[in-house]
Amino acid sequence: MGALFLIGVVGLGIARYSFGVVFDSLQGDFGWSRASTSGIFSAYMFLCPAFSILGGWAVDRYGPRKVFTAVGLFTGLGLLLTSQVTAPWHLFLTYSLLLAIGSGCIYVASMATIYKWFVERRGLALGIVSCGVGIGMMVMPPVVAYLISSYGWHTAYCIIGLVAFFIMIPCALLVKNPPGEVAASLNGGGLENRTGGLSLVQAAKTRNFWLLIFVLLSFSTCFFSINTHIVPHALDLGIGSMPAALLLSCIGGGSILGRVILGRISDSVGGKQAFLICALLLIGTMLWFTKSSDLWMLYMCTAVFGFSFGGTAPVNAALIGENFGARHMGLIMAVIGIGWEAGAALGSILAGYTFDISGSYIPAFIAGAIVTLIAVILIIFLKTPSSYNEASQE
């Protein structure tokens, strides 16, 4: 768990959740609009599903150690090469492509590995490991902001690329494959709990499979309109660069609590009810953003936003396990995750486009509340089957 925790801190904390910090520097250096600058991150998120699916299949087939070693290599390489770019199109190769190869499957591979390791209190275990992402969101943005302000963004990316190499690869070598059938019986779990479940084809024939894709699409469109643009929004309000970067840290801090608390709640009441809690909190927070202009209000708002954001990670994994089982969980989670990655790409670039045409992020905040309301409706129609066979016969 510790190794996967650190991989999440570094890999996703830098690649996925610190882009907002470098946003202003890239826009200034290359003279892009906000929609164009957002396009770098959107391209990264559009590419992530392909490598998430590949990584999910590989972790089911070859185990997590080999997968996470490749993750560390490509993440470090992408960051180092990003530090050397001299033209805007270079960023689409070094950041969008190489970081998608490296970090695109971290969440899926981590959650699938942990799900197969644990039988009792899986939601809590999933929440604890996913806290690595929350810590990454809390720690990495101010670190990256400090490096950029002290040395410039080129040198900053060189430094964090070396950090990725020297933390992620050693951690990958410490990851062990999940125990087999004997360990499952020793831990009190049946064979079905550890290795049973549907194939991807069987899962794709169920209603819940498609509902979950669109739920994640709605959630992610909302989430990443904030994650990518909250720092530029704060700068527009006259807030300094470091306090603005700390807004991402507030999201990360709130997400840590959300991952643990809602992961534990999902063990008690089920993933569907926990998902509804996340969605309702998110709707309220997006409306709250439209009225928040002072720094202290933004800090409070982003903390609550982070709580609902973080809670979706273990809840999503628990729901997928409840519905489809563990045998092919990595691959199934990766395919369902296409909704999440597509929403992240759409939310980022659409919020930037909305600002370009209106001069404000308020319409984007309202749109985020609306798409989350759609997610609530879809969640209501989710049906948790009593067995995998029942799911395959929906």
pLDDT, one tens digit per residue, over 262-308 is 877 877 777 788 888 889 999 999 999 988 888 888 999 999 998 98
Is 187 a domain residue?
A: no
Is 181 a domain residue?
A: no
pLDDT, one tens digit per residue, over 111-140 is 778 777 766 666 667 777 777 777 887 788
Whole-number Å distance between alpha carbons of 321 and 70 = 25
Which of the two residues, 86 and 221, has the higher pLDDT score? 221
Is 188 a domain residue?
A: no
Whole-number Å distance between alpha carbons of 72 and 186 = 33
Give 83's strand partners: none
Q: Phi first, then psi: what are they for 197, rounded to 5°? A: 145, 175
pLDDT at 394: 54
pLDDT at 294: 85
CATH number at residue 109: 1.20.1250.20
DSSP character string of 103-137: HTTHHHHHHHHHHHH-STTHHHHHHHHHHHHHHHH
Is 233 a domain residue?
A: yes
Whole-number Å distance between alpha carbons of 96 and 118 = 34
Whole-number Å distance between alpha carbons of 178 and 367 = 41
Whole-number Å distance between alpha carbons of 92 and 392 = 40
| Percent above pLDDT 90 for the chain | 16
pLDDT at 158: 93
pLDDT, one tens digit per residue, over 201-225 is 888 999 999 999 999 999 999 988 8
First-to-last C-alpha distance (Å) of the chain: 35
Q: HEC string of 367-386?
A: HHHHHHHHHHHHHHCCCCCC
Is 185 a domain residue?
A: no
Whole-number Å distance between alpha carbons of 188 and 138 = 37
The two three-digit tokens of residue 104, written as one number: 């695109």
Which of the two residues, 302 and 252, has the higher pLDDT score? 302
DSSP character string of 65-117: HHHHHHHHHHHHHHHHHHTT--SHHHHIIIIIIIHHHHHTTHHHHHHHHHHHH
Confidence of residue 183 (pLDDT cuts 50, 70, 90): very low
pLDDT at 283: 93
Whole-number Å distance between alpha carbons of 281 and 278 = 5
Is 184 a domain residue?
A: no
Domain count along the chain: 1
pLDDT at 199: 84
177 secondary structure, DSSP code? P
Domain span at residue 125? 2-175+193-392
Decide: helix, strand or coil at residue 270. Answer: coil
CA 285 to chain centre: 19
pTM for this one?
Answer: 0.69
Is 75 a domain residue?
A: yes
pLDDT at 386: 56
Can you tell me the mean pLDDT for 67-73?
Answer: 90
Is 45 a domain residue?
A: yes
